[in-house]
Amino acid sequence: MAESTNERSDPPSAPRTAPGACASALCEAYDTALLDLDGVVYAGGDALPHAVASLRTARSRGMRSAYVTNNAARTPRTVADHLTRLGVPAEPAEVVTSAQAVARLIAEQLPAGARVLCAGGEGLRVALTERGLLPVDSADDDPAAVVQGYGGPELPWGVLTEAALAVNRGAAWFASNTDLTIPSGRGTAPGNGAAVEVVRIATGYRKEPRVAGKPCPPMHRESILRTGARRPLVVGDRLDTDIEGAHAGGVDSLLVLSGVTDAAELLAARPAHRPTYVAADLRGLLVAQPAPAPDGDGFACGGWRASVRAGRLELSGQDDDPLNGLRALCAAAWSAAGRERGTAECGPAVARLGL
């Protein structure tokens, strides 16, 4: 991925201390955007502002799109149909789910035709079947493995009972992902991680599942295998899944502020949660990315200057782009924090940016 137009993500031994620079538009510097969905492309099922137009423009300028989601409930075809209705033409082959990643993980360890107790939705069942595995519903079916994936709010309690019984009897245990919560049109709802915790409790905390979804490496591997990306850019709204997953995969990332992460969380990010680039929304794919430059005891980006003094982030100057101010603040906060989580007080500085 060594390109003159962009930086490579810092290795774990050298934590990122400032957002990176890209002299050309991101959609021209990277061949494939590995896009999260909720909070990036849509929210509550509806397209986010600027998302459809930005993705269409990025595609016209040569960037391919792949939609990478931890949600294991829906099949790739269902997701592709949804995106197409929103105005983003998509094929099932462009959708990568944690159900596919965990099904591959299981199939690599079990023989074809092995019984797998499926504690999840249609997307998980289809992924298991495509890998030559046999989904079953009861611990009495003698499953070789148990797999948990988000099954929607209607997931019966009895499914978790069967999963716990099978795990306690010795079945191998897998999870598509362990996100404790998910966004919904009515607010925050329990995610698959909450269901995994139920089974963990029933095992007396003696067992742990193997997890495939973001930020774990199997999900990134699945994305690369399915897309053939040579210069991928992970695009997400969550630090603990999207950005951490990019770090684990050794690729660059763009954080968009259209979802769950706000400016204060970004400034406090620990090294594995620091993105290469930051933008308000998917319009960030279409432009170059400026980098903060050292300026005395602080950092400057555009017309903004940021520094840390007495444990407090200070911001001076101004230009028409508040994201430049945020980039300068990130450089000051991350440089001061080093390998630790940022602790500098940031409220007044963030408020000045209106973010």
Domain boundary among the residues 191, 211, 231 is at 211
Same domain, yes or no: 61 and 156 = no
- Alpha-carbon gap, residue 21 to 146, rounded angstroms: 44
User: Which residues, 6 or more positions from 295, have their beta carbon under 8 angstroms from its beta carbon?
Assistant: 305
Give, to the nearest 10 degrees, the angle between helix 76-86 and helix 122-130. 120
For 64-119, the pLDDT digits (tens) are: 999 999 999 999 999 999 999 999 999 999 999 999 999 999 999 999 999 999 99
Could you read off the pLDDT of 187-235 as tens digits, one per residue?
Answer: 888 999 999 999 999 999 999 999 999 999 999 999 999 999 999 999 9
**12 in a domain, yes or no?**
no
Give the three-state DSSP class for 343.
coil
Query: Looking at residue 6, what is its pLDDT?
Result: 37
Which pLDDT value is given to residue 300? Answer: 98
Helix/strand/coil for 204? coil
Active-site annotation holds for 36:
yes
Q: Which of 3, 10, 73 is nearest to 243 (CA)?
A: 10
Domain shared by 279 and 305, yes or no: no
| pLDDT, average across residues 289-304 | 97
Count Cβ atoms below 10 Å from residue 142 Cβ, excluding itself.
Answer: 12
Residue type, 223: S
325 closest CA partner among 334, 315, 333? 315
The number of CA neighbours under 13 Å toward the Cβ of 296 is 7
Cα angle 32, 36, 245 (rounded to 5 degrees) comes to 80
Same domain, 145 and 202: yes
Pair 305, 283 in one domain = no
Domain boundary among 254, 288, 322: 288
**10, 31, 38, 240: which one is catalytic?**
38
Q: Is the pLDDT confidence value at 130 over 50?
A: yes
Place of tokens 């390998």: 339
From the list 36, 179, 240, 252, the catalytic residue is: 36
Residue corresponding to tokens 């990643």 = 101
Residues 222 and 276 in one domain: yes
pTM score of the predicted model? 0.92
Mark whether 317 and 339 lie in a shared domain: yes
Q: Return d(Cα 27, Cα 32) in angstroms, integer.
A: 8
**Same-domain check for residues 233 and 201:** no
Angle subtended at Cα 64 by Cα 61 and Cα 67, rounded to the nearest 5 degrees = 135
Whether residue 329 sits in one domain with residue 246: no
Structure tokens at 62: 């040569």
C-alpha closest to that of 256 among 96, 2, 54, 86: 54
Task: Indicate which CATH number applies to the domain containing 48.
Answer: 3.40.50.1000
Structural domain boundaries enclosing 277: 24-70+215-288
Are 123 and 197 found together in one domain? yes
Q: What is the DSSP letter of 11?
A: P
Q: CATH no. for residue 307? A: 3.30.300
Residue 54 has pLDDT above 50, yes or no: yes
What's the one-letter identity of residue 345?
E
Q: 3-state DSSP call for residue 253?
A: strand
- Domain annotation covers residue 86: no
Number of domains in the chain: 3
DSSP string, 156-187: -HHHHHHHHHHHHTT-EEEES---SEEEETTE
